[in-house]
Structure 1
Amino acid sequence: MRRAASRALRTTCQCTVRGLSRTTGRPRRIVFPQHSSVALGARSSSSSSRPNHALSEPLRSSMYIRRLSVAFVSGLVGYGAWYTYKGNNALEQATGRAYTTTATQLAPDAGPTRTVLVVGADELHTGTFVGEGPISKNADGSGRNVLEMLTPEQATEKMRQNEVSFMVNRGQGVLRYDIVQVASNNPIEDDHAEKIVEVAPPSSSEDKSNSDWMFWGVFDGHAGWTTSAKLRETLINYVAREINTTYKAASTMNTMPSPEAIDAAMKAGFTRLDDEIVHESVDNVLKSKSKRVAAELLGPALSGSCALLSYYDSSSKTLRVACTGDSRAVLGRRGANGKWTATALSEDQTGSNPNEAARMRKAHPGEARVIHNGRVLGGLEPTRAFGDASYKWSRAVSEQLRASFFGRSSSPYLKTPPYVTAEPVVTTTKVQPEKGDFMVMATDGLWEMLTNEEVVGLVGKWIETQTEQSNSQLSSAWSKMFGSSKGLPVETAKDGGAGGQKTPIRLQQWGISPDEPERFVVKDNNVATHLVRNALGGKNEDQVSALLTLVSPFSRRYRDDLTVQVIFFGNGQKTGEVLVNEEASSPPKSAFKAKL
């Protein structure tokens, strides 16, 4: 559900706080030939299996009302001529062999030809259906399901269904931020939140003007959506209050808090919320002896979520990024040669990251299975996450809850919990608004499709296109800084762009070469949607349509939930307003309008 900017975050400490918040969830090879057929091979649809006090209202998925609404008319494929495109095998498909159809003479009045997806247990390919009438899932016992392919226009509509853009006219170093979500799971397990907090200066400060604390968060849920929904509702408030307390303590001594103290405050906000989710919820459930209360409070504990939260202090132009899990933030900065450089502001925290694996083995010496096949105890991919209580509770607590209420069995390798922590790694960056810096924050659904450099280059290319095509105030500001270029205007990473991060595994799954020329396109006003389009196929409209046609649970084999935020730094006008950029937002626009 898209919600209007609402409740202020208020505290009793030194800062006067008024707030604006916005809240909006592997592979075999897939080959997309040059003609209209699409062939895909899938492996298991399992995701990474990253396997509270009473709320005033039950948690709801952020897309509770705005579910993807592409409807497929019910009925069986009972008439018409049916074709399917098939290759001989995955290796031959990868070499680019053409797909053929069995020649059949059609009657002149056979009807229109429509493209469909045929979804089997282990494969997916396109075909055509000739004739009028409904096309939907086929329940004839063949093991296949049939969906009519979205047209490119319908695919675009689906991509843009949950996009929104805000113009930040506060003169505090941020010009605009764009957001989009595209679901794969049903309901989506991703979530996100944004808040702008206006802060009065300390009484000892010579500068009496207010500043802004700006927060942006993306939350990648797993094993359900309840943990990410909990983070959307509460994490920014927890962190902002800890930071406020830190400033208040420093102001009593007429000083400013140290960078280390602010980092510690952000970490405290994360860990205190996770303690509430995982441990305080158990105390309340055992006291209540109610299965209804258990269902409400244990949901966010039993599921899990990664969290990526950015905090920008406009007075110091300092950007802090706190990362728990494998969502990622990347900074784009324009160099003297006109190209952008991509700088990772977070590191993917999974069992495949050597740094995280070493930390885990040091914390649990002698446990050979603490990291197995790149996963915690062989099961959970992120080494840091909210919730995931089965990796944090003792075996005794898990069994007690299971016996009295419900829950999951403990891993047979559970010896010295907790194995997973919500404590984030915090990085600090000085932002240069005058140079047009930008930041991309996204769940791992984006980063398994595109590299850091491709994402930054795509935003850079989008900026150039906007500058050429628009007369808006923002584009005018960009035109003074940025010209146009051929290809993606980004520096190539010296280390290949990996640096311990996940790589775009989907390209191999889809049979696409990362060096394929001219595979990207610019056609969206919302830059976050622009990134999603190019992640799903860019200029290859058949691929984009096929991937967006897929519905849960089949879609999860080929794409994850996608949540993308892009924040543009810069010195714009100062009216004090935060307004919806209607050109880059899906309707209804009125639902997004918000002011401080």
Structure 2
Amino acid sequence: MPSIQVFRRAYMQGYGSDRGPWRYRLFPEHVLRAQILKRCTTSISSDGSSLGASIQPHDGSANEDRYLIVDLSLPNGVWSLNCVFDGHGGHETADYLVAELPSLLVAGLLPTVANLEGVSDVLTRAVFDVDEAIKRDFLEVFPEEVEEIATMSDTTVKTRVNDQSSGGRNHQKALRCLRGSTILLTLVDPTRKHLWVLNLGDGVVVLGSRRDASSQWDASILSDNHNASNPAEVDRIKRQHPDEPECVFDDRVLGNLAVTRAVGDHAFKLPRIYTEKIFLNVEPGFRVPAVIESLIPRNLSPPYVSNLASVRYVDLREQSSCDYFILMCSDGLGDLYADDPNRVESLTSLVQKWVGIVGDVVRDDIQEAMLRLLRHALGAEDIDDVSRMLSVEMPVAYMDDTTVILQVL
């Protein structure tokens, strides 16, 4: 006899005046694990030490996050590369990073692996180069000078950029420019004694460590927060644009973009004429063109968004701990707590909680560790909250795309 399905209704905060109530299915405890897994895409490394999971439960919303778990075969052995790409505005830039960044990294690392010097510079350069390649490909479609572009008719621009009927190469190059993506990257050498962490944007990388099996897990944040809620980032942009009071306002670059560093987002990096004459003529292009139109008058001296990543090196030989694991996540994981007024807490406190949830099981069962983390983020022990986050029937996405990679060192 089939089990009886129980439905409830709930109001959802933060979605304007139309907050519900929306219907959702109440799942019994014994199926919640399967329901979480059903909504995740997962991947595990060849040696089982890294596991990635990405979730967006809303049926009508495509997940724009991407991630990579890759072995890099280099002359001194196999290196572990893990990446999280948080796409925004669309998935095209994140897709490009998945396709292009690993080969750039291999080419740059080959001369450095013998003595490890220069690895940090290789990582920074690869991210810079991949963003410059996106811009260069687009400018090859529109090689005209700024003055010439200003005089081009909309018909001419649309014909050139919206070439889907002949393969869409120009259209894809434009989309990679106007979309964007953040980057989290960890690189571990074959000895597992050397760790490099790169970030561009507002994802989080955490190192969990403990002295011995009887000790508590400690959490160390190894990433920087590149968004407009970070006073240091706001100050950097304002110093670069001293006579532009609207270069950052409402905690957004030009009043529009939350992140201050990213790949893509060339509407914030190129002169305004490219947005006005070309990007706004891409079909389909921006989801809300009116919002982009509003930032054009503020684009006075680009670039406003940086492609310079932060890189941190950790020599695990110099640490007193014996057990390590890495937790890396897109900002969607933290948003699941920040969006609930009853669960808001500092990032420092939150990552310590995550490390405690994951640490005790990650070595023995990495999938169980991932499930416990996702379950906690979706509502912890509250079956009703978890069920609502997995199944509420809203017309729009009610949570950000969320991607997590766990790696045992």
Q: TM-score range by the shorter chain?
A: 0.7 to 0.9
- The two structures have a TM-score, normalised by structure 1, of 0.55
Report the more deviating stretch, 181-190 or 356-365: 181-190
Q: Deviations over 1:18-41 (max 9, x none)?
A: xxxxxxxxxxxxxxxxxx977434
Given the alignment, which residue of 297, 310, 323 partners 1:412? Answer: 297
The structural deviation recorded for 1:152 is: 4.6
What's the counterpart of residue 528 of structure 1? 370
Given the alignment, which residue of 240, 243, 259 partners 2:106? Answer: 240
2:314 alignment partner AA? T
The structural deviation recorded for 1:148 is: 4.5
Question: Is the partner of 1:415 in helix, strand or coil?
Answer: coil
User: For the aligned residues, what is the CA RMSD?
Assistant: 2.8
Alignment check: 8 A CA contact 2:25 2:388 kept: no
What's the counterpart of residue 42 of structure 1? 13
2:70 alignment partner AA? K
The answer as to 2:131 corresponding to 1:274 is yes
What's the counterpart of residue 334 of structure 1? 210
Alignment check: 8 A CA contact 1:38 1:543 kept: no
Given the alignment, which residue of 173, 177, 180 partners 1:297? Answer: 173
Q: Deviations over 1:233-260 (max 9, x none)?
A: 222222232222455xxx7xxxx353xx
Alignment check: 8 A CA contact 2:87 2:179 kept: yes
- Give me the whole-angstrom Cα distance separating, in 1, the residues matched to 2:358 and 2:78: 25
What's the counterpart of residue 438 of structure 1? 325
Alignment check: 8 A CA contact 2:25 2:387 kept: no
Q: Deviations over 1:198-243 (max 9, x none)?
A: 2224xxxxxxxxx222100001111111111211222222223222
Alignment check: 8 A CA contact 2:204 2:331 kept: yes
The structural deviation recorded for 1:373 is: 1.8
Question: Is the partner of 2:109 in helix, strand or coil?
Answer: helix
Given the alignment, which residue of 537, 548, 562 partners 2:402? Answer: 562
What's the counterpart of residue 427 of structure 1? 312
The structural deviation recorded for 1:187 is: 0.8
Distance 1:532 1:273, change over 3 A: same
The answer as to 2:232 corresponding to 1:355 is yes
Distance 1:154 1:391, change over 3 A: farther
Alignment check: 8 A CA contact 2:66 2:94 kept: yes
1:368 alignment partner AA? P
Question: Is the partner of 2:376 in helix, strand or coil?
Answer: helix
Distance 1:167 1:297, change over 3 A: closer
Alignment check: 8 A CA contact 1:225 1:303 kept: yes
What's the counterpart of residue 550 of structure 1? 392
2:136 alignment partner AA? H
What's the counterpart of residue 208 of structure 1? none
Alignment of 1:434-513 (within 5 A): 435-449=322-336, 451-463=350-362, 475=364
What's the counterpart of residue 82 of structure 1? none
1:454 alignment partner AA? K
The answer as to 2:184 corresponding to 1:308 is yes
The structural deviation recorded for 1:435 is: 1.7
The answer as to 2:50 corresponding to 1:177 is yes
Q: Larger helix proportion, structure 1 or 2?
A: 2
What's the counterpart of residue 344 of structure 2? none
Question: Is the partner of 1:358 in helix, strand or coil?
Answer: helix
Alignment check: 8 A CA contact 2:178 2:279 kept: no
Distance 1:391 1:529, change over 3 A: same
What's the counterpart of residue 122 of structure 1? 18
What's the counterpart of residue 89 of structure 1? none
Unaligned runs of 5+ in 1: 1-35, 46-120, 126-144, 170-174, 202-210, 464-473, 479-523, 570-596
Question: Is the partner of 2:202 in helix, strand or coil?
Answer: coil
Q: Deviations over 1:362-414 (max 9, x none)?
A: 11112111221211111100000111111111112223325765555453211
What's the counterpart of residue 73 of structure 1? none
Alignment check: 8 A CA contact 1:328 1:346 kept: yes
- Give me the whole-angstrom Cα distance separating, in 2, the residues matched to 1:167 and 1:224: 27
Question: Is the partner of 1:397 in helix, strand or coil?
Answer: helix
The structural deviation recorded for 1:560 is: 1.3
Question: Is the partner of 2:69 in helix, strand or coil?
Answer: strand
Alignment of 1:211-250 (within 5 A): 211-246=77-112
Alignment check: 8 A CA contact 1:178 1:526 kept: no
- Give me the whole-angstrom Cα distance separating, in 2, the residues matched to 1:403 and 1:355: 32
The answer as to 2:286 corresponding to 1:400 is no
Distance 1:553 1:267, change over 3 A: farther
Rg bigger for which structure? 1
Q: Deviations over 1:494-531 (max 9, x none)?
A: xxxxxxxxxxxxxxxxxxxxxxxxxxxxxx94322221
- Give me the whole-angstrom Cα distance separating, in 1, the residues matched to 2:19 and 2:67: 33
- Give me the whole-angstrom Cα distance separating, in 1, the residues matched to 2:80 and 2:316: 13
Distance 1:438 1:316, change over 3 A: closer
- Give me the whole-angstrom Cα distance separating, in 2, the residues matched to 1:285 and 1:155: 51
Distance 1:153 1:552, change over 3 A: farther
Distance 1:548 1:368, change over 3 A: same
Distance 1:195 1:400, change over 3 A: same
1:321 alignment partner AA? V
1:275 alignment partner AA? E
What's the counterpart of residue 81 of structure 1? none
Alignment check: 8 A CA contact 1:547 1:555 kept: no
What's the counterpart of residue 187 of structure 1? 62
What's the counterpart of residue 121 of structure 2? 264
1:323 alignment partner AA? N
How many matched pairs?
358
2:199 alignment partner AA? C
What's the counterpart of residue 156 of structure 2? none
Q: Deviations over 1:548-593 (max 9, x none)?
A: 103565332xx21111110001xxxxxxxxxxxxxxxxxxxxxxxx
1:377 alignment partner AA? L
Alignment check: 8 A CA contact 1:165 1:176 kept: no
The structural deviation recorded for 1:168 is: 5.0
- Give me the whole-angstrom Cα distance separating, in 2, the residues matched to 1:412 and 1:455: 43
Distance 1:313 1:552, change over 3 A: farther
Percent identity reads 25
- Give me the whole-angstrom Cα distance separating, in 1, the residues matched to 2:176 and 2:235: 28
The structural deviation recorded for 1:418 is: 0.8
Unaligned runs of 5+ in 2: 1-6, 145-158, 164-168, 286-291, 338-349
Alignment check: 8 A CA contact 2:182 2:200 kept: yes
Question: Is the partner of 1:437 in helix, strand or coil?
Answer: strand
2:354 alignment partner AA? V
